[in-house]
Structure 1
Amino acid sequence: MRLLVAGATGQLGAGLLETMGEAGCTMIPLLRVPEPGRRTAGRLRPPDPALVGEPVRGDVRVHRWGLDEAAVRRLADEADAVVNLAGQTNWAGRGSDIYATHVLGAEHGYLLARELTALSGRRIPYLYAGSVYAAGGAVGAVAEQPYPRRADRTVYEQAKLLAERRLTALAGEDSPLLILRLCALVGNSATGRTLRRNSLYMLADRWDDLPGGVLPAMPAARVDALPRDVAARTLLRAVRRLAGLPGTEALICHLGLGETAPSVRGLLDAAFTADPERFRRAPRVVSASARQIVWTSQNAHRFLPLTPTAHNALIGLRYVGLDRVFDRSRLAALLGGGLPEAGLGLLAGLLFGPPRRPDAVAAGGSMARFPG
């Protein structure tokens, strides 16, 4: 199976490159045209160059993803599916940039898949990598259904929601559509390699920098995260199943641990038990209400002079501090069973263990930067 992939240089893209060979797949990467003053817009380092076909250059923010007529006709012959992993992951970034990448990128990708379907005479499915965090400040059980309106979404979350709505309005029987809402992603489950130490890694790397050494969270808050290779294997299984789906409606699934996600307290306890010397003090979670966490993460920048890193970190509190379970029943039905798994010990080891390679550590960062 040959997949046209936008966002191939991100964390999940790295996971795809690590797992495509065993799945019998090949990637045709859409690489962004370098912006003025930048030598490159992203590099691919596949473990096996045979996994990557001839790249195409484009931009998800424009019509046809910026591809010319010749490129589109080539892809009509070569591509079996279109996968959109592209994302603007700076939660505190400009709203126009976030909107263009997520909303316009989602729409342009689906219209491209429909054009490839018409040219090739084959049903070319489209998979869009959404985000479970488009749920905003919702707590409790979160269903694999269109999210309702809420007033507590961040700009990033609102853009992800608008992308979903735009796609469901466009869905038709010519190109099957799957919105795969992603949880947080961490490094490879076997090697520990990660694209950069951001996201949940900041909970580990900067634990001792937290004021008072405490983390505000609901009493039963969960951390829903998957190693990138585990997520990639599940995504590839989903793409294979997607092409044969009947019907005209968009399918929405949650890609995460769901009801098996560990609690934030359990994760910290496991890390402290495995390596107590890593912490200057024992990890301590202070109970807070959902309203307190959501309001602070959404509004603190209006009253405090926050750096972009600090602003992102505050937004990230809601992604580890809320008590909610993302349902996976539709994902189970799509896959025919075999839901993704990641044990508490594995997640604690990946997050709180030392970097396996010095070049795995990126300078700066924040608790932000979950997958786009």
Structure 2
Amino acid sequence: MGDVNDGARAYAESIERGGGGLGVDDLLAKVMTAGASESGEIAAQAAAPAAEGALDVDTLAATIATAAGRHLPEGRLSPDADFFDAGGTSVHAVELVAELESELGMEFDLDEVFADARPISLARRWLEASGATHAPPAAPVVSPTAPAPLTLPAAAPYAPPPPVLPATAPAAPYTTARPEDLEQILADLALADRLPFTRSPEPLPPRRVLLTGATGFLGSHMLLDLLRHSDAHVYCLVRAADQETATARLGEALKSYRLPWSSEIRRRITVLPGDIRLPRLGLDDELWHRLAHELDSVVGVAAAVDFLRGYHSLRTSNVLGALTLAELAATGRPKPLHHISSIAVFNEVGITAMGEDDPLAHIDRLIAGYDQTKWTAEVALRRARDHGLLVTAMRPGGIGGHTRTGAYNPQDLSSGLISAFARFRTVPAFRYLNAAPVDWVSRTAVAVICEPDAWGYDYNLTGVPNTLDDVVRDMALGGMHVRVQDWDAWRADALARLQAEPVPELTFLTRVLQSPSALKLCEATLKGPAAVDDRTAALVEALGLPPAARYDAQAQLKTFEKLADDGLARLPQKDDTPYLWFTENTEGTVGPVGAPADTPCAMRLTLSIAGMHQLVKERRVDVQGELTCPALHPEPVVVERGDLVVRPEEGIPEQHGMRHQLISYQLELVDADGGRWWLRGRKYARARRDVWRQTRALTVEIGRAGEPASLAGEVVVPADSYVRDQIDGIHVDPRLTGQEKRAAKLTWLAWFGLEMGRGLLGPFARAAADLLDLRRPTTLTERHR
């Protein structure tokens, strides 16, 4: 299409990355305008059959495939191959839809393309919708009695979801699975009957493990846990053309998730370039047979995670890939297959139980392609058990960020929802969020892999579910008061906000919220019951592993900070409505540095926090108010900016002294004439009996901005006002409920009391240590102290 189309493609790619401001209609118009000058090949291919009065489905499919191939890395597409699986992107899909409409007058909805992006399927649907005559439909794509699986497309990059759509109501969602999807699912299930029969493997911890998905979020953490907690050598199947490229891709993936990539790791792994979508994983016969006879265990983590693509688009990776791993596990030396499934196998709207041995959803009531493929893979592998294959199915729910590093999966639906909750301060009414941090999911999954007694069962790796009250309370304690809305209202509100102020990092969530099939997935996720993990909990306890804990605000802290750094979330700011505040009044005297302090000085301050994150991360309190001191100005001096830090420098004592810092004040002040001042104040803890006064007395230094201190002295909180102002006088954000206000006060007092207790204990502990260490020689400094 020449330079004009290159410009349109560049603009479309900017939309893909979250830039630009056009909706899909405008983008389609722009692409169609750019392509209007080309009217030859595509139109010519369709013209002949149209002139004869009947459109042949195969010819039309070939025409669509020719157009689609121009947008793919290899430049071509088979009529029965999936557009996205062959490397197409959402930008390419927009361009393709525009071309087909402008050149052939064929109109397709993007949701239709994502449901099944094979040219043969698009041709059939268009002919049926248009009422055109066509040849009888072809036979089903996969036959249970076929001698071999379909030839899968060549390895291609992961295809992202479509660009941001306008915030309009979606088409009416499907209420049941499409008949053509069910037909394909039944055919795929029958493929399990062709797997080899095998025997039970030796019940020994694995020494040679094949791991797929090591470049993904969960797979990369499982790779490191396998190396840390076993002696296994790990063969990592990585999608790439050669070993050098595969190794580099694995290293970059690990580093992107804040995981180490060292020579020791490289020594204990072997990187195999391959692809789970290809027969025999894309490996040559010799390597396939060598692995079949040498491996002790096969671990399948790799999957295409996309909530917009349909079953046909995802089946090659998620279903046929799982069956290929089952074939490898059953060939040669008997070995277990550990399959990472998903709680999505229960994503039927209205399901009542999600226990480890409970019935899965009815397949005809799963709408999203991702849910359907995970269900099909797990059910097919259950059939493989009848052939003697030892299959373990592990089902994570939402996989949250790492509790220590903060690494997270930006395309995980849980991350997107948490980001939206924090950014918009609204949450949809839900029952449970079945999510657990990636470090717990990974460690538990690896424990199952390494413990032979755990093999062959189903596990829900979902942790402790969060309720709606849990999430609202966590966010309130973090200084983020949120409003609860029903699902439809929340979705409309979130889309309107994202449309008004696009957030590039949340475009995938926008797409999910506008897809009819993905909406069913969201509805099932938010309205489903709590997942039950009794078998997992018993195994964790038996192995002495950390038990599952709720993925609460504390566990999410590091991840939330990284989400904020990456633009997906927003932490409380100084200019937000304070979450909690109280007053502090002090009285005392100051004087010139080195001279008696004889000038009255008083401070009327308001101490506040924007959220508990501020305390946990920085131990900092915001300060406002005024200072009255005739030595500075006849009128009160206003605090322009102020910070109070509790136990600065961890309360380490001053050099050559016994005073430990309890609290530090840093204030910037402005007088009525515009003069600028600074104030530094410190409360100290010492090994003396006046502990009560130590918590109230503040040693201060005051000076003009840019100059050394000119005044010094001490101000003290009166004993009769301390409890009245700083305990009884605590105020909390009025938007919180009474219960939340009480929880906020108790949390603050518990945190502050613990920090002050640690600070006051420090000098006494040090003095006691000095007294007990009678043999310690006296230093020169101490003799002259």
Normalising by the smaller structure, the TM-score range is 0.7 to 0.9
Contact in 1 for aligned 2:310/2:370 (Cα 8 Å):
no
Amino acid at match of 1:311: R
In the other structure, the counterpart of 1:184 is 398
1:216-295 alignment, distance < 5 Å: 216-218=428-430, 221-242=431-452, 245=455, 251-257=457-463, 260-274=464-478, 276=479, 279=480, 282-287=481-486
Structure of greater Rg: 2
By how many angstroms is 1:333 displaced? 5.2
The separation in 2 between residues aligned to 1:230 and 1:163, in whole angstroms, is 24
Contact in 2 for aligned 1:15/1:231 (Cα 8 Å):
no
In the other structure, the counterpart of 1:341 is 548
User: Is 1:215–2:427 an aligned residue pair?
Assistant: yes
In the other structure, the counterpart of 2:523 is 318
1:225-262 deviations in Å (ceiling 9; x for gaps): 122121111111111224775xxxx63221111xx312
1:16-71 deviations in Å (ceiling 9; x for gaps): 13323331244211011359xx9999433352443341211221122222222222
Q: 1:320 to 1:340 in 2, by over 3 A?
A: farther
Contact in 2 for aligned 1:114/1:175 (Cα 8 Å):
yes
In the other structure, the counterpart of 1:99 is 315
Q: 1:283 to 1:34 in 2, by over 3 A?
A: farther
User: Is 1:166–2:380 an aligned residue pair?
Assistant: yes
User: Is 1:329–2:534 an aligned residue pair?
Assistant: yes
Amino acid at match of 1:217: A
By how many angstroms is 1:323 displaced? 4.2
1:325-351 deviations in Å (ceiling 9; x for gaps): 212123345556457413323344245
- SS of 1:157's partner is helix
Q: 1:194 to 1:354 in 2, by over 3 A?
A: closer
The separation in 1 between residues aligned to 2:558 and 2:323, in whole angstroms, is 35
Q: 1:130 to 1:138 in 2, by over 3 A?
A: farther
Amino acid at match of 1:127: H
Q: 1:79 to 1:11 in 2, by over 3 A?
A: same
Q: 182-191 or 321-330: which moved more?
A: 321-330
1:103-133 deviations in Å (ceiling 9; x for gaps): 1111111111111xx2x3xx31101111102
1:302-326 deviations in Å (ceiling 9; x for gaps): xxxxx86423246363365224121
- SS of 1:325's partner is coil
Contact in 1 for aligned 2:239/2:246 (Cα 8 Å):
no
1:296-315 alignment, distance < 5 Å: 309-313=509-513, 315=518
The separation in 2 between residues aligned to 1:126 and 1:57, in whole angstroms, is 20
Q: Which of 273, 276, 289 pairs up with 1:60?
A: 276
Contact in 1 for aligned 2:396/2:460 (Cα 8 Å):
yes
Amino acid at match of 2:322: A
Q: 1:23 to 1:79 in 2, by over 3 A?
A: same
Contact in 2 for aligned 1:197/1:362 (Cα 8 Å):
no
User: Is 1:127–2:333 an aligned residue pair?
Assistant: no
Amino acid at match of 2:484: V
Amino acid at match of 1:284: R
Percent same amino acid at aligned positions? 21
TM-score normalized by the length of structure 1: 0.75
By how many angstroms is 1:159 displaced? 1.2
The separation in 1 between residues aligned to 2:428 and 2:409, in whole angstroms, is 27
- SS of 1:200's partner is helix
The separation in 2 between residues aligned to 1:153 and 1:93, in whole angstroms, is 11
Contact in 1 for aligned 2:277/2:316 (Cα 8 Å):
yes
Contact in 1 for aligned 2:426/2:483 (Cα 8 Å):
yes
In the other structure, the counterpart of 1:302 is none
Please identify runs of 4+ aligned residues in structure 1 that moved more than 6 A.
38-41
Amino acid at match of 1:312: V
Q: 1:204 to 1:252 in 2, by over 3 A?
A: closer
User: Is 1:17–2:217 an aligned residue pair?
Assistant: no
Q: 1:313 to 1:352 in 2, by over 3 A?
A: farther
1:197-228 deviations in Å (ceiling 9; x for gaps): 64322234333665xx533223xx11221221
Contact in 2 for aligned 1:81/1:124 (Cα 8 Å):
yes
The separation in 2 between residues aligned to 1:79 and 1:50, in whole angstroms, is 21
Q: Which of 261, 286, 298 pairs up with 1:70?
A: 286
Q: How many residues align?
A: 325
Contact in 1 for aligned 2:237/2:271 (Cα 8 Å):
yes
By how many angstroms is 1:187 displaced? 2.0
The separation in 1 between residues aligned to 2:393 and 2:366, in whole angstroms, is 22
Q: Which of 140, 143, 162 pairs up with 2:355?
A: 143
Q: 1:157 to 1:353 in 2, by over 3 A?
A: same
Q: 1:97 to 1:362 in 2, by over 3 A?
A: farther
- SS of 1:33's partner is coil
Q: 1:311 to 1:104 in 2, by over 3 A?
A: same
In the other structure, the counterpart of 1:370 is none
The separation in 1 between residues aligned to 2:541 and 2:350, in whole angstroms, is 28
- SS of 1:169's partner is helix
Contact in 2 for aligned 1:332/1:339 (Cα 8 Å):
no
- SS of 2:407's partner is coil
By how many angstroms is 1:287 displaced? 4.5
Amino acid at match of 2:353: A
Q: 1:155 to 1:340 in 2, by over 3 A?
A: farther
The separation in 2 between residues aligned to 1:18 and 1:252, in whole angstroms, is 23
The separation in 1 between residues aligned to 2:567 and 2:269, in whole angstroms, is 28
- SS of 1:27's partner is strand
In the other structure, the counterpart of 1:304 is none
- SS of 1:185's partner is strand
The separation in 2 between residues aligned to 1:80 and 1:330, in whole angstroms, is 24
Amino acid at match of 2:325: G
Amino acid at match of 1:30: L
The separation in 2 between residues aligned to 1:77 and 1:319, in whole angstroms, is 42
Amino acid at match of 2:560: F
Amino acid at match of 2:476: F
The separation in 1 between residues aligned to 2:247 and 2:269, in whole angstroms, is 19
The separation in 2 between residues aligned to 1:68 and 1:131, in whole angstroms, is 31
Q: 1:194 to 1:113 in 2, by over 3 A?
A: same
Contact in 1 for aligned 2:247/2:271 (Cα 8 Å):
no
In the other structure, the counterpart of 1:33 is 240
By how many angstroms is 1:153 displaced? 3.2
Q: Which runs of no fewer than 5 residues in structure 2 stay unpaired?
A: 1-206, 493-506, 569-785
Q: 1:89 to 1:165 in 2, by over 3 A?
A: same
Contact in 1 for aligned 2:219/2:302 (Cα 8 Å):
no
Contact in 1 for aligned 2:411/2:508 (Cα 8 Å):
no
Q: Which runs of no fewer than 5 residues in structure 1 stay unpaired?
A: 297-306, 364-372
Q: 187-196 or 309-318: which moved more?
A: 309-318
